Amino acid sequence: MFSLFKKKIKVLEIKQGQHLEKAEEQSVEEFFAKRMKNRIKKVLGYNWEILWHTDEWVYFGYPKAHQRPKQYVETLYKVSHPDLRQAFPGFEHVQGQEVRKAVWKTITSRYSLGQYTTLIQDLKWQAILQDGHIVLDIHWVYSTDGAPETHQCFDLTLDNQTLTLLAFSEKPCSGKALEAH
């Protein structure tokens, strides 16, 4: 009900350079965290998208609606373009789904589960930008063929442009809960 009262800004108009004065400033870290939530696109919108950019700002938002002419964002954000290029040079193409693929590739190449009929698994991770890299805290839970759950935790470091694996280490699993991505 409350979304009825929020101001809707049309995505097509933003992509023409309109309404930019309405953007709320975000940090590079906030931009990164939002983009890490992106999933494989099954429908139009419903991911954090870059909508416009200038030399000074990158404008982004979370488009809603299933038809391009009707797409809107409730809030338009902006982040410093020079700061973003410096801290996260892969910002245009590195998103949550690409990081997720790199994580799965790394884990499955190191941990063969052998032959099984059923596999139940959950992968939770948190990512931060640190010193030109993406640093991930990962908690993987899996069970094959009804066996008890296995918990494995890792620290992973990826290049923030190419997602090349730079460091990998196992660690004991702590009791803190990670966000599912």
58-114, pLDDT tens digit by residue?
999 999 987 888 899 999 999 999 999 999 999 999 999 999 999 999 998 998 887
Query: Per-residue pLDDT averaged across 16-40, rounded?
Result: 95
* 180 occurs within a structural domain: no
* 77 occurs within a structural domain: yes
Cα gap 15→19, rounded to integer Å: 10
111/138 same-domain check: yes
Closest CA to 103 of 51, 164, 56, 49: 164
Query: Per-residue pLDDT averaged across 135-151, rounded?
Result: 93
Closest CA to 25 of 72, 75, 74, 71: 75
Query: Per-residue pLDDT averaged across 45-53, rounded?
Result: 92
CA trace torsion 108, 114, 118, 123 (10° rounding)? -20
Q: pLDDT at residue 48 above 80?
A: yes
74/116 same-domain check: no
Structural domain count of the chain: 2
- pLDDT of amino acid 138: 96
Confidence of residue 1 (pLDDT cuts 50, 70, 90): very low
Q: What is the mean pLDDT of the chain?
A: 90
